[in-house]
Amino acid sequence: MDNSVKIGIIICDRYRTCAGGKCFRSLRNREGAFSIYKDVPVELVGYTTCNGCPGGNIEYTGQEMVKNGVQVIHLATGFLVGYPPCPYIDTFKNLLEIKYGVKVVLGTHPIPQKYLDMHSQLHTWDDPKWGPMLAPTLADEEVRLAYN
């Protein structure tokens, strides 16, 4: 019997040409938001974009991913670190969880140091709501620098 956790990754469309290297490396190394799978086998069964604002692909890709066995959907770190961060991220998370009964995790790879530095200067994440949203993707400085 297959005991792996089946995951899907949805990335922000402004990064649609991303080859997924940071996400796949962090999945392999169990870093960032993938640290929750430290001792668990994981199978990636879906990877796509939101299709651009306001996320027209979220509803349909969520349905397809769940049909293909996805148990957890990760909204990629790009939704958090973009300039500006995705204004729809809460809606996407709630829709996927409520409509499909799937767990949604905010983030994939650790936040690169250069993004943490810039958002700190911009005061983007000063609102306390960002703490829990960023927590899965914050890492120590050495790891953040490795993802620059």
Q: Check: CB of residue 104 under 8 Å from CB of residue 73.
A: yes
Residues 20 and 87: their CA atoms lie apart, in Å, by 22
Cα distances (angstroms) measured from residue 121 to each of 1, 2, 14, 42: 49, 46, 22, 36
Range of the domain at 57: 5-146
pTM of the prediction? 0.95
| Structural tokens at position 132 | 């829990």
Number of domains in the chain: 1
Task: Please name the residues in contact with 67: beta carbons below 8 A apart, sequence gap of 6 or more.
Answer: none
> Mean of the pLDDT values across residues 57-78?
96
Q: What is the pLDDT of residue 67?
A: 96
Give the pLDDT band of residue 6 (cuts 50, 70, 90). Answer: very high
- Name the percent of the chain lying above pLDDT 70: 99
Q: Judge whether residue 1 has pLDDT over 70.
A: no
pLDDT tens-digit series, residues 125-148: 999 999 999 999 999 999 999 999
Q: What is residue 2's predicted lDDT score, i.e. its pLDDT?
A: 74
What is the C-alpha radius of gyration for the chain, rounded to an integer number of angstroms?
15
The CATH number given to whatever domain includes residue 26 is: 3.40.50
Residue 31: both structure tokens together: 């870093």
